[in-house]
Homo-oligomer: A and B are copies of this chain.
Amino acid sequence: MIRVALLVAAKDLRVELRSRVLLWQVVPFGAMALLLSGLALGPARAGHSGAAPGLFFLVMLFVTLLTVARSRAIDARAGTRDSIATLGLDPGGVFLGKTVALTVELWVTGALLLAGTVVVLHANLAGTLAASGNVAVTLAALAAAGVLHGALSGPGDGSATLLPLLSLPAFAPLLIAGERAYSAALGHGALWAWGTISLVALVAYLALGILLYGVLDES
């Protein structure tokens, strides 16, 4: 399983590197979304850092959805799907691999956006650093949930393209936990109480994915 996971992760990341979508498109998008959220909330509200964790995770959610859509698109074409299907890759491994690749992408984007949060939304630096471990865990969980729900959405071509968005409710606990933990870190609150939720969610989504990805990807 691990071998398959590494193979798939390497492939996804290579495609990603090749098309440079992450660097030139996802990251600027995130930065822009952060700026715009700040603006949309109005200068007065965006200025103080209370809103920063919420906005950060909201933007990361959109980044996740977009990146999942891309990660699906890589194997989406009908012809490609058949070719790959007959390789008979272990589905658990494919799930893990895709999750790893997505996690790496989210971490890169997240790190840059955290910096943006500090500079643009005036979140305090020490708190942000304290929260970063937890943010990393939450993003990994988001990635796992994203890949799982990407599979739910079917082939990814044509009519069902937007289905993963329906599974947004599954992201909600992650977002709330992440936001609370980050807020706690900024205000020196109980970081770890919320942090464990993210960790538990990560483990749960990974387990679910390894077990169920094959069933979802079957058809």
Q: Which residues of A contact B (CB under 8 A)?
A: 18-21, 24-26, 28-29, 32-33, 35-37, 39-42, 45, 50-51, 53-55, 57-58, 61-62, 66, 69-70, 73, 158-163, 165-166, 168-169, 171-172, 175-176, 179, 183
Contacts and interface: CB of A to CB of B under 8 A. Distances in A.
A45 B36 contact: no
Identify whether the interface residues of A are mostly helix, strand, loop, or mixed: helix
A32 B169 contact: yes
A96 B4 CA distance: 48
A176 B46 CA distance: 14
Given A28-B165, A29-B165, 11 more contacts: A19-B158, A19-B160, A20-B159, A29-B166, A32-B169, A37-B54, A40-B179, A41-B54, A66-B165, A73-B158, A73-B161
A37 B20 CA distance: 29
State how many copies of this chain the complex holds.
2
B55 A25 contact: no
A54 B28 CA distance: 21
Contacts of A163: 25
A21 B161 contact: yes
A176 B51 CA distance: 18
A164 to B, nearest CB: 9
A62 B25 CA distance: 15
Nearest to A58: B40
A183 B162 CA distance: 31
